[in-house]
Structures are given as structure tokens and as C-alpha cells.
Amino acid sequence: MGNTADTRQRIVLAAIAILEHDGTAGLTMRRIAREAGVNPAAVNYHFGSKANLLEHVLSVTRSHIFEDWATVLNTAELSQAARLYCMLDILMEGISRYPGMVHTQLFEAGAREQGRKGFAGELGGFLDFMQSRLQGLVPNESINLRLSLAQMILSSLAAALVPELLDAAVGSIPEPDRRAAFLRNLIRGFAGTEVNISKEELGIMRELRSMAFSETVDRD
């Protein structure tokens, strides 16, 4: 049973690596098997077809994203503002580390319809969850919290997808502080609250970030 799970994990990780570098055009059963270090028959056994494997990879990587965000929002040791900051920081870091996978999910012809629908569907439900966890974050009750949270996610997504936009937005702020300055101002602008993070919270946020970027992605 453990070997079966390990084989599936290796196949999924190999497929993710191929999609990251070459998109769906590079995703062949033979190449997946070679990079996973398994027999080609094992890929067919576990997933049936390349289309099934692609669907699984798109689904599992999306789920990984939202599960990591949910973990952050459920971390009671962090203030609400720190949770939001940490979540958006992980979002931007993920796009920075895996731009090819994000491109496959949202823009590549061979996967974007399925990827966009899947992402939008999960985002809608996640925003409801997010609103319940951050209720009271916005001091001004006239502000639509759910819409503000969506706008912060979409702004962070755009800035991470096109780094030149982030550079233009932050101007002369030095490189190591650019993302932090962008996120702090974003949260201040849309939520009307300051992000003040203690040393203890920084330690917790580092652990959450480390967990988010572990290589365990197939959590079935």
C-alpha cells in the first residue's frame, strides 16, 4: 500500500515538474514514466490516461493551494491581519516559484478552461470561509469584506504573475522589502487595518510557509 502511494506521488511530482518547464506539450506518458523512475505501465495503471493524470494534477495542485491558505486562516496564534498577510505572501511566493504551473492552470490552451473553472469554483467557496475567519478585520462596517478580500487576492495574483507590475507599483522601494510594502499597503487600503507582526508571529509564519512549499502534494 505504501509503495502504491509512493508511486502515485512520484508520478504526480514528475508531471508537475514537466508542466512547470514545458507545459502540456511536454507531458507524454513516456516522459512522465522516465522522470518518475517508474514503468510506463504504472502511469496507465494509476491514472488510465494522460488526460486523467492532467485533470488530477490540476485538481490536486489547486486543492494544495486552498488547503495551505485555510491552514493559515485557522492559525489562532496569529492576529487576523497577520493571517491575511501570511496567506497573501504564500500566494505570491507560490506564483514566483511555480510560474509555469500557474500558467498551465490559467492560460495554456490545453488546460485553461478546466483550470480556470476549477480555480474560480474553489475561490468562491474559499472567500465565504475566509470571510468567516476574518470577520471583524475591517473596522468600517460599510465595507464589503468579502469583496475586499477578493480584490486583495486578485491584486496579489496580478502583481505576482507580472513582476514588472509590482516593480512599477512600489517604485524605489528596495528589492527585499517590495512584496512586504505592497502587501501591507494593500491590506491597509482594502481592509483599513495595519499589519503589525510580532517576533512570535514571524516564527509561526515561517513554519506555515515551510509547510506550504513541502513536496507532498498528492494528499489523497
Asked if the model's pLDDT at residue 1 lies above 50, the reply is no
Residue 24 CA: distances (Å) to CA of 99, 103, 174: 14, 10, 36
Q: Is residue 204 part of a domain?
A: yes
Helices and strands (H, E) in the chain, number of each type: 11, 0
Number of structural domains the chain divides into: 1
Q: Is residue 125 part of a domain?
A: yes
Is 196 within a domain? yes
SS3 148: helix
pLDDT band at 215 (very low <50, low <70, confident <90, very high): low
Domain for residue 158, yes or no?
Answer: yes
Tell me which residue range forms the domain holding 69.
61-212
Alpha-carbon gap, residue 178 to 92, rounded angstroms: 12
Query: pLDDT by residue (tens digit) across 28-82?
Result: 999 999 999 999 899 999 999 999 999 999 999 999 999 999 999 999 999 999 9
Which residues have CB under 8 Å from 182's CB, separation 6+? 156, 159, 166, 169, 170
For residue 111, is it within any domain?
yes
Within 10 angstroms of residue 163's Cβ, the number of other Cβ atoms is: 15
Q: Is the dihedral of CA 180, 125, 213, 159 positive or negative?
A: negative
Taking the model in full, what pTM does it have? 0.89
Considering the domain boundaries, does residue 205 fall inside one?
A: yes
Whose cell is 513536496? That residue is: 215
The answer as to whether 159 is a domain residue is yes
Has residue 130 been placed in a domain? Answer: yes
Q: Which three cell numbers stand for residue 7?
A: 508511486
Q: pLDDT tens across 158-191, in order?
A: 999 999 999 999 999 988 899 999 999 999 999 9
